[in-house]
Amino acid sequence: MTTKISRRSFLGTAAAAGAVLYVGATAKGAVAASGTADAMLNPFVKINGNGSVVAVVKHFEKGQGPATGLTSLIAEELGVTMEQIGYEFAPSDAATYNNLLFGPFQGTGGSTAMANSWMQYRTAGANAREMLIKAAAQAWGVDAAALDIQAGQISGAGKSAPLGEFVAAASGFAPSETPRLRDPSEWKIIGNPETRRKDSPIKVNGRAQFAMDVQLDNQMVVMIKRTPQRGGIVAGFDDSAAKEVTGFVMAQVLPTKHGVAVYAENTWAAMQARAALEVEWDLSAAEVRSSQEIKDEIMAALHTAPVYNVNKADHAAVSSAVENAAQTVEKTFYFPLLAHAPMEPLNCTIEQTAEGDIVLHDGAQMPTGPHMAYQQIFGLPPEKIHIKTLLAGGSFGRRATPDADYQVEAGLAFVLTDRTRPVKLVWDREDDIRGGYYRPAVGHKVRVGLDESGKIVGWEHQVAGQSIMKGTAFEGFAVHDGVDHSSVEGIADSPYVIPGMALGLTDTKKATSVLWWRSVGHTHTAYVMEVMMDMAARAAGHDPVAFRLSYLSGDKDQERKAAVLRLAAEKGNWGGPAAGHVQGIAVHKSFGSYVAEVVEISGSLEGGIQIQKVTAAVDCGIAVNPDVIKAQIEGGIGYGIGHAMRDQITLEGGAIEQSNFPDYEPLRISDIKAIETHIVASPEAPTGIGEPGTPPSAPALANAIAQLDMVVSELPMSEHGVAFA
Amino acid sequence: MAISLKLNGETHTVEADPGTPLLWVIRDELKLTGTKFGCGVASCGACTVHLDGEPVRSCQTYIEDVEDAEVTTIEKMEEDRIGAAVQQAWLELDVVQCGYCQSGQIMSAVGLLRENATPTAAQVDDYMHGNACRCATYQRIRAGVLRAADILEA
């Protein structure tokens, strides 16, 4: 997902959010004694009958931290400690739990969880606080202004009681649209580096419930034998060998005909039976191209005039400036398809209740997608469909597809049964690597002209690749004047003030389904921008940091980017690597946040390179949970560098060649010796953190490798001249 | 066939074909879901359990080969001196992100500390190399193992 968050629209949506808060007012009887009903003070704050507070978290938890972050906001404003508050995931209800930056759509993506929830959740916590205080003030006959809640205790005017005592009375009050938000000077949780993750304890003792762990009574497991080439359909199948497998139940062709559903009593039986199933495929309409053909098409597009003039530049004038420059640096880049490969393979479980309702158990990244799809599949009104969100074992974008691919697959497989037994759809790793929704293959061609003093006089930039958004339900959201913003984000909206930039874009044919992949277009645009910046700096004979800073003066946008660059350079000891080491640097803005990274490496191109240290500086606005932010930067760096080092998805005759981790090798513990993250103190509203650590990581590595006299312009690096130790 | 299995100190009899991976017996038959399925080819370590105290990949360990062995899973680690120290270190450092691989990471970490109470960072990297974490929490895993060693030494 890509979402621009301007300060103005952010405040606008936050204000609108305040207006939709409602009071559940369903509390019955006294609270704070066991056995009483739970009370919803508003959709985001629930207080259980025993007085314990629960934050209702509208974003799913795939490790990026909203279970901790959104809970922190409620706890801070309400006045409870992090130990006094629990969390639960919101039901699927787009009217109440929508992402404020996505419109009437409930979902997580584009690093927006904190950005869109920041005011909404603080307001909800503050509202709950004010309602409880009002109830206490009435009961005690004191002025509400004299009361506050701290650590779950309402105190003031000589009185004190646990907040649980006033929940029932508080439920009768209407929430204020503009409750008093606590001043930053009062914050105890927001910004506290000691705050621990709420989901850690259950993730270290095996009790965490991921969707894959759902075990419903009498459930079947279904696995799909899918077409080996996208677009292929089932012509027929023979399940006589599958019938020999203990636990095999049945095999059915999916209505889409893209595969055969194999039902069994358990996962292992489903795997065995699927392996034994013989399928005859009709591949007459299937993809037959190879990666080389896909690349050839993209490269050819880079050498013809672009279809879209993205920034409405005078291309002829920019070309002429580059042609006539004192010096020209140019490079053509190519980026392969990439799989997301989250640790938990895709899965979900579906059941029908006695009332005929449909319940989906899912690590649901975008509940509204399957919720809408299921209305069609089951012919049910929205209120008869329920989605229970469980923990997700990673996603990196994969659990959010515009067509709700795996949830639809489970729904179709369920319809083929008599619906008396729950059906759990399980993908294995081979399904995941081959069941394709990939970071698009993309090419860039850039020419930069420099004058005698080494200043940029023209930057001609052409992008060709597969559009993620076109042809999907998100087209209207992200495609304007034909330009899929996600193809050029990070260039078109770069804070660099570059004179004479011409940015062109050409869409190429989709080889297979393409999808946002952690940091979306920034996965390749940051690489190209930052490698070109380094090439230009070297040609100009300038230090890469000083060179970049000369294009980063202007307003706050430039200043914030410059500040992280300076901080990373300072903390990463820029210009002073350890003996035998070389360094590279990159800086990039994405999802409203600014990240700079210094990569320090040892070794040689032939003997093998070792990444010794990555030093990062990040400005993501107010750092709500600093340690979660550091963790996301660490993970974002690993994700970016790991794939740049050695991963690609390739096709031969239309079929994906890779199948599992042995040939789609994950980053391993020994690949990066150390990562250090520094956070810039900021008064700005929080911006993204799940993705922004990824974009600068690979170009910073490439710029370090460039010190060994090799500019890597095609990924993965291991396939293009770089050995890793 | 009926196979008797000692899991976390209790003996169970399960009905399973020979060749069934231990992983699926633990998860689907005995309903202990802390042990995870990640790749099925012993390439990610998410399914790591202990067989007589030694870490093994349960996706490539077959049920007929464990009949006389003690199988231990993540669910039992809080009762293990080293396991509890590793869990404490993991909480102190908030090692987890998505958490899906962390049962396997912890089972491997316990295996390492059992054979080497004071590993160096390089020894941690060597030993933990086969445990993949797609969230790339590696530097906290490394720090977590070293911290657990300190906890155990204290």
pLDDT bin (cut points 50, 70, 90) of residue B22 is very high
Which structure tokens are listed for A567? 């901080």
Flag the least confident range among A17-26, A314-323, A373-382, A546-555: A17-26
- The mean pLDDT value for A230-244 works out to 97
Checking if the pLDDT of A29 tops 80, the result is no
Instruction: Summarize pLDDT for A613-627 with one digit per residue, the tens.
Output: 999 999 999 999 999
The pLDDT score that the predictor gives to residue B1 is 84
On the question of pLDDT at A695 being above 60, the answer is yes
Region A527-531: mean pLDDT is: 98
Instruction: Report whether pLDDT(A664) > 80.
Output: yes
B89 touching chain A per CB within 8 A: no
Q: Which residues contact A677 (CB under 8 A, 6 or more apart)?
A: A615, A616, A617, A618, A629, A630, A633, A634
The reported pLDDT for the residue numbered A177 is 85
The Cα A38–Cα A184 span in angstroms is 31
Find, among A290, A279, A275, A278, the residue nearest to A257 by Cα. Answer: A279
> Is residue A262 helix, strand or coil?
strand
What mean pLDDT is predicted for residues A240-252? Answer: 98
What string of H, E and C letters represents the secondary structure of A299-356?
HHHHCCCCCEECCCCCHHHHHHHHHCCCEEEEEEEEECEECCCCCCCCEEEEEECCCC
Percentage of chain A exceeding pLDDT 70: 95
Using pLDDT thresholds of 50, 70 and 90, give the confidence band for residue A477: confident
Q: Between chains, do B133 and A343 touch, taking CB under 8 Å as contact?
A: yes
- Spell out the CATH class of B2-75: alpha beta
Who among B24, B73, B75 is closest to A267 (CB)? B24
* Domain limits, CATH 1.10.150.120, in chain B: 77-153
Q: What is the rounded average pLDDT for all residues in chain B?
A: 97
The residue among A15 and A441 whose pLDDT is bigger is: A441
Confidence tier at A511 by pLDDT (50, 70, 90): low
B56 in contact with A, Cβ within 8 Å: no
Phi–psi pair at A687, nearest 5 degrees = -120, -170
Q: Residue A628: pLDDT above 50? A: yes
- pLDDT of res. A374: 98
Residues of chain B contacting residue A266, judged by C-beta atoms under 8 Å apart: 24, 28-29
Chain B interface, best mutation among A108, A198, A205, A361, by max B CB count within 10 A: A205
| pLDDT confidence tier of residue A367, bands split at 50, 70 and 90 | very high
Partner residues linked to B13 by β-bridges? B4
A113: which chain B residues are within 8 Å (Cβ-Cβ)?
none
pLDDT exceeds cutoff 50 at A33: no
Set of chain B residues whose Cβ sits within 8 Å of the Cβ of A396 = 134
Contacts of B151 in chain A (CB under 8 A): none
Model pLDDT, residue A20: 23
Asked whether the domain spanning A211-284+346-426 has the same topology as the one spanning A7-204, the reply is yes
Average of per-residue pLDDT values in chain A: 93
Pairwise CB contact (< 8 Å): B132 & A344: no
CB contact under 8 Å between A63 and B139, yes or no, is no
Nearest CA of chain B to the CA of A569: how many Å?
A: 21
Q: How do the domains of chain A map onto residue ranges?
A: 7-204, 211-284+346-426, 305-338+438-719
Find out whether A622 and A190 touch, Cβ atoms under 8 Å.
yes
**Positions of CATH 3.10.20.30 in chain B:** 2-75
Shortest Cα distance, chain B CAs vs residue A22, angstroms: 32
Q: Looking at this protein, which amino acid is placed at residue A89?
A: F
- B13 vs A: CB within 8 A: no
Q: Is A201 on the interface with B (CB under 8 A)?
A: yes
Out of A62, A202, A662, name the one closest to residue B98 (CB): A62
Residues of A in contact with B29 (CB under 8 A): 266
* Segment A564-591, tens digit of pLDDT: 999 999 999 999 999 999 999 999 999 9
| Structure letter (DSSP) for residue A90 | P
**Residues A291-341: pLDDT tens digits?**
999 999 999 999 999 999 999 999 999 999 999 999 999 999 999 999 999
Helices (H), A196-278: 200-204, 267-276
The pLDDT confidence band at residue A4, using thresholds 50, 70 and 90, is very low
Q: Which residues lie below 8 Å from residue A8, measured CB to CB, with a gap of 6+?
A: none
Q: Residue B106: pLDDT above 50? A: yes
Q: Which of B46, B134, B139 sits opposite A674 (nearest CB)?
A: B139
Partner A contacted by B72 (CB < 8 A): no
Q: What is the mean pLDDT of residues A89-105?
A: 95
User: How is domain A305-338+438-719 classified at the CATH fold level?
Assistant: Aldehyde Oxidoreductase; domain 4 (3.30.365)
pLDDT higher than 90, residue A147: yes
Q: Do B94 and A203 touch (CB under 8 A)?
A: no
- Give the integer Cα–Cα distance in Å for B106 and A442: 39
Question: What's domain B77-153's architecture?
Answer: Orthogonal Bundle (1.10)
For domain A211-284+346-426, give the fold: Aldehyde Oxidoreductase; domain 4 (3.30.365)
The number of residues making up chain A comes to 725
- B139's torsion region: left (phi>0), alpha (psi -120 to 50) or beta? alpha
What pLDDT score does A51 carry?
Answer: 72
- pLDDT above 50 for A7: no
Provide the residue type at A458 as one letter: G
DSSP-based three-state secondary structure for A627: helix
In this structure, are residues A310 and A503 in contact, taking their beta carbons and an 8 Å threshold? yes
CA B139 to chain centre: 19
Which of chain A's residues have a Cβ under 8 Å away from the Cβ of B75?
205-207
For the residues A116-133, what does the mean pLDDT come to?
A: 97
Band of the pLDDT at A36, cuts 50, 70, 90? low
- A268 in reach of chain B (CB within 8 A): yes
Long-range contacts of A537-543, Cβ-Cβ distance < 8 Å, separation of 24 or more? A538/A706, A539/A327, A539/A329, A539/A450, A539/A454, A540/A327, A540/A450, A540/A453, A540/A454, A540/A455, A541/A454, A542/A454, A543/A575
Q: What is the pLDDT of residue A64?
A: 97
- Interface contact B137-A341, CB threshold 8 A: no
User: Domain A7-204 carries which CATH code?
Assistant: 3.30.365.10
Kindly state the percentage of chain A with pLDDT values over 90.
91
Is A428 in CB contact (< 8 Å) with chain B? Answer: yes
